[in-house]
Structure 1
């Protein structure tokens, strides 16, 4: 992985610390978790103890008060091990920022310390069986009833769905309205009427716990409303910029990792009495991949810097999310081909990359939605 322009000695030290932690505490057990189809819950507390959860949270709530550059380092090092760790980035950099930005002081005091320590695991629930990217047509309702809301509906494909203690749920508090009827509720484990289905069996991301969630006359106190009623769509639009940047960073790291492992493989493997790396086809393919990786690194570096500086990167981050995930998909196919039959064996990491990468083009807004956003912002 190339070094970013913004990295200081403190960043380098932080990176070496988390890399050492992951190499000792995570990497040796990762394949076992993939086989078991779940990451043990106690791992979250180890992350919390090391300060690797929600480093941006203010110190008064137990965080380190760091900017997104440190989150970037964590996200990169997690992806280097494997994409099934994406739930940690979702917790820290996608869900918790809603509490920080729109939560009341009571909500922050109640939830943020547990999010930082790993005692609370979070999820965000937007997608429904009949509504994915089409948020305006959510069917999950939250009807006010004195001091609480009564929630009814179903959510699916929810990352961290099995482990989550806190689920940020997009609901319709005004079922007749479109975008203006959407609100965000924090629904907690143990609330009456909240249940979850079995862990969904996915093509990839085997250790990541993805589930369906069910709400049947679920009673949620009104103090669990995040922000203002009816403003949920606006909040989602404000925060999706960072979510898509998180996905783009993961795709870039996956591409870098695949290039590195394939270079190592072709240099050590022989066919027809000579190294695979000496064949013109191999040289051309890897030259193409190296170029794509270099372009991706420059693009993502620019976006991270602008995001940290508070700039509007909606159009460019949509481009990055679309292009980098599609590029990573193509690279996974090319690199598997260069591994020959071994690339199709689970013993080789490229096989896992090949099955883990495609979903990045689907979640956090499909790539078709990304193109729609880009075109709209071009005035067409």
Structure 2
């Protein structure tokens, strides 16, 4: 089915409710089948070719995966945030980089549907949902990453709109995306107060795509950058004015940190399952490897920390959902930071432990550990580094405990 073919009767208009339970569980089965038949057999080849997989993203669109949070009346699936987290978890069991690329185009489609003008929706929405065009959100720059307020890309008023100049770096999907939510500074020196959000079209003059980055792995994310040199954005392409855009970006990052934590849980669980299966089949000193206490206790520790990650992630999902209901993101900041910090830090170490438990066999590409280890490393950077989460938690200590 396509996103447009979904019967409105099985999709709730309320994004907090999402698809009804039975329909959603059936859809999870479709996603798992897509993952196992399209992504799993090809992920190592795509990685060896060091590229995104736009053809697979287009195939994903056939079951609506690029339109998860697009409202049903706009042709999407109308999923809730919690349901989106579940879907990216299913996909990340095989490839977090693929899931991360997919969810970024889906996020842009959902924001075009909700924030864009009628012209934007007519021009971009159907193509985004069908995988004919891909989306990115462009915050990071060569000189501004975690310090988002320090961005230097400028937006200068001109007749009928704005002129944008500057460079963006470390942008997910930049290898192919051309529908881009771009943050720019309208009042240099004002930091967050001057930052506005624009929709830019990478097929228009003034946009220059830069070559994708050569990375140690995770090329499916399509990380790269672009330059804007005299790019003209029409007046209606200003989606959030100065000040409001910065606050909205800080709010939306709570959701991103939460689904990254969910992705980490999926990677650990898949690698742990692989290690346990191998340990049950492989014998050493007359008994299955898993029967040796040293190995069994190591993997038990992995499972223990996985349970903790899953619970922290579930708490963050609930907090983000509540923030969407109330419009107040403050209550989701700490739960999202705790979930992302713990899930990313433990994922990298625990995936490595599972690989170690399999001996040299764990390094073979027909096991998931190597791909997931790179995914876990990536997760430590995206949507706020692990250090940023630690700092966010540290700054809350006085308010949380001083009174007591």
* Per-residue Cα deviation, 1:149-207 (whole angstroms, up to 9, x for no partner): 22211111111001102111111111131111111111112221211111111112133
Residue 87 of structure 1: which of 101, 104, 107 is its match? 101
State the match for 2:348 in structure 1: 329
1:219 & 1:276 partners in 2: Cα distance?
Answer: 63
* Per-residue Cα deviation, 1:46-91 (whole angstroms, up to 9, x for no partner): 2222112222212232112222233123201210121221110122
Give yes or no for contact 1:152–1:218 (8 Å, CA) kept in 2. yes
State the match for 2:197 in structure 1: 184
* Per-residue Cα deviation, 1:90-121 (whole angstroms, up to 9, x for no partner): 2224x344434543344344333332222221
State the match for 1:357 in structure 2: 376
1:269 & 1:98 partners in 2: Cα distance?
Answer: 49
Counterparts in 2 of 1:77 and 1:176: CA distance versus 1, 3 Å:
same
Q: Secondary structure of 2:62's partner?
A: helix
Aligned residues: 374
State the match for 1:125 in structure 2: 138
State the match for 1:370 in structure 2: 389
Matched, 1:113 2:126: yes
Matched, 1:52 2:71: no
Q: Secondary structure of 1:119's partner?
A: coil
2:20 & 2:373 partners in 1: Cα distance?
Answer: 30
Q: Secondary structure of 1:377's partner?
A: helix
* Per-residue Cα deviation, 1:224-283 (whole angstroms, up to 9, x for no partner): 111224422111012111111111110111111111111011111223333211211101
Residue 343 of structure 1: which of 362, 366, 372 is its match? 362
2:217 & 2:136 partners in 1: Cα distance?
Answer: 19
2:60 & 2:370 partners in 1: Cα distance?
Answer: 27
1:375 & 1:267 partners in 2: Cα distance?
Answer: 42
1:7 & 1:34 partners in 2: Cα distance?
Answer: 36
State the match for 1:61 in structure 2: 74
Which stretches of structure 1, 4 residues or longer, exceed 4 Å deviation after superposition? none
Structure 2 residues without counterparts, runs of 5 or longer: 1-18, 400-404
Structure 1 residues without counterparts, runs of 5 or longer: 1-5
CA RMSD of aligned residues (A): 2.0
2:39 & 2:293 partners in 1: Cα distance?
Answer: 38
Give yes or no for contact 2:52–2:175 (8 Å, CA) kept in 1. no
The TM-score, its normalising length taken from structure 1, stands at: 0.92
1:40 & 1:300 partners in 2: Cα distance?
Answer: 28
Q: Secondary structure of 2:30's partner?
A: helix
Residues 236-275 of structure 1 mapped to structure 2, 5 A cutoff: 236-275=249-288
Q: Secondary structure of 1:170's partner?
A: strand
Give yes or no for contact 2:274–2:367 (8 Å, CA) kept in 1. no
State the match for 1:227 in structure 2: 240
Counterparts in 2 of 1:207 and 1:219: CA distance versus 1, 3 Å:
same
Give yes or no for contact 2:109–2:129 (8 Å, CA) kept in 1. no
